[in-house]
């Protein structure tokens, strides 16, 4: 059975990859982009990700999240990695990002390894893409082809973040509209939301649902009562800055996220919002009944997201945190 599933997976990836090549190649991204200039790039990245996640499983979600937050603002250009300057406040310091994004130091370490092996070749944006895939695989997700050849951006502006990223309070329509702005459809949104199956959240991300639903000093009545009581023990009213694990499967990337939604154990408003629309409910049921299909479709959605073009491509940065392109 396992051999059959693997065969089906390979067949699915082959077909999906052929269909996606026409789209991705328009941006001149290819799976063999570094084959001649830095053939060891993928191996270096994977080895580093394995080390990082072995030391801290929670970091897998952080590394994946960097790719999401990068691509939704100015396209997939590594701009989320840039530091603020004397004249600009960078994306990483925007309210929605500051204190919640992590893993920057690991990207710097990976970049340093790549610079030692292949100076001035691998872009920061491509590192984020490879790291997101390898982090997912490390926690049990399925692999997918990573298309490479992105050019790093030259700007990173905190003001652009709030108008680009989905907020935790968004309803279904707002989520659909936010994803549509970057070329992703409703199914992509529902599938990519499954990335919340791993990681941690500040208790403040769902504080209102737990303690002050709609300003009424009550718990959201749609939340499973036993689950709510468990959350309250982990997230007391007087300490919203504590962390709560987002996953219930011991840091495994899987479809249990959708099972939790169907059983009223979602955390953020934007998670619960998926159950307010028939399309979200239908997909959640499908994912629970066939978890393998979710893992496959997540990879395909990640390929599509990774193809969001950079709005201001600049060059290959030697240091991912500053504007200092490598001389090629």
State the virtual CA torsion across 191, 263, 175, 310 in degrees, nearest 10. -30
Q: Residue 67, annotated ligand binder?
A: no
Compute CA distances 7 → 11, 138, 142, 275, 289, whole Å: 6, 21, 13, 33, 20
Q: Residue 73, annotated ligand binder?
A: yes
Q: Residue 159, annotated ligand binder?
A: no
Q: Residue 27, annotated ligand binder?
A: no
Q: Residue 249, annotated ligand binder?
A: yes
The string of DSSP letters for 87-114 reads: S---GGGSTTTTTT---HHHHHHHHHHH
Marked catalytic residue, from 67, 69, 106, 264: 69
Rounded-to-5 percentages of helix, strand, coil across the chain:
55, 5, 40
Long-range contacts of 221-228 (CB under 8 A, 24+ apart): 222/264, 222/272, 223/264, 223/265, 223/266, 224/263, 224/264, 224/265, 227/264, 227/265
**69 given a catalytic annotation:** yes
Q: Which residues contact 104 (CB under 8 A, 6 or more apart)?
A: 66, 81, 92, 321
> How far is the first Cα of the chain from the last one, in angstroms, to the nearest whole number?
49
Q: Residue 196, annotated ligand binder?
A: yes
Which residues carry a binding-site annotation for Ca(2+)?
Answer: 70, 73, 75, 77, 79, 91, 249, 254
Known binding site: residues?
70, 73, 75, 77, 79, 91, 166, 196, 249, 254
- Which residues define the annotated binding site for substrate? 166
Residues taking part in catalysis: 69
Residues at the binding site for heme b are 196
């Amino acid at each position: 059975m396992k051999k059959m599933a693997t065969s089906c997976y390979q067949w699915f990836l082959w077909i999906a990859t052929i269909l996606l090549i026409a789209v991705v190649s328009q941006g001149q991204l290819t799976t063999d982009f570094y084959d001649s200039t830095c053939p060891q790039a993928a191996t270096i990245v994977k080895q580093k990700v394995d080390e990082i996640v072995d030391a801290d499983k929670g970091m897998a979600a952080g590394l994946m999240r960097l790719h999401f937050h990068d691509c939704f603002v100015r396209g997939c250009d590594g701009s989320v990695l840039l530091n603020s300057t004397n004249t600009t406040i960078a994306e990483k310091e925007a309210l929605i990002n500051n204190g919640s994004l992590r893993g920057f130091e690991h990207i710097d370490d990976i970049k340093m390894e790549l610079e030692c092996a292949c100076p001035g070749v691998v872009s920061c944006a491509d590192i984020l893409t490879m790291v997101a895939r390898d982090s997912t695989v490390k926690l049990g997700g399925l692999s997918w082809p990573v298309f490479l050849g992105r050019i790093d951006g030259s700007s990173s502006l905190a003001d652009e973040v709030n108008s680009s990223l989905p907020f935790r309070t968004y309803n279904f329509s707002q989520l659909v509209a936010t994803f549509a702005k970057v070329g992703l459809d409703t199914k992509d949104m529902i599938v990519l939301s499954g990335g919340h199956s791993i990681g941690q959240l500040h208790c403040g991300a769902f504080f209102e649902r737990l303690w002050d639903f709609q300003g009424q000093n009550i718990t959201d009545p749609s939340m499973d009562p036993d689950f709510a009581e468990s959350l309250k023990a982990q997230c007391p009213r007087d300490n919203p800055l504590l962390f709560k694990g987002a996953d219930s499967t011991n840091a495994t990337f899987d479809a249990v996220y959708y099972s939790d939604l169907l059983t009223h154990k979602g955390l953020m408003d934007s998670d619960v919002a998926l159950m307010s629309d028939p399309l979200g409910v239908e997909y959640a049921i499908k994912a629970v009944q066939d978890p393998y299909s979710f893992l496959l479709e997540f990879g395909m959605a990640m390929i599509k997201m990774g193809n969001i073009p950079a709005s201001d491509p600049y060059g290959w940065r030697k240091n991912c945190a500053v504007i200092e392109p490598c001389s090629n």
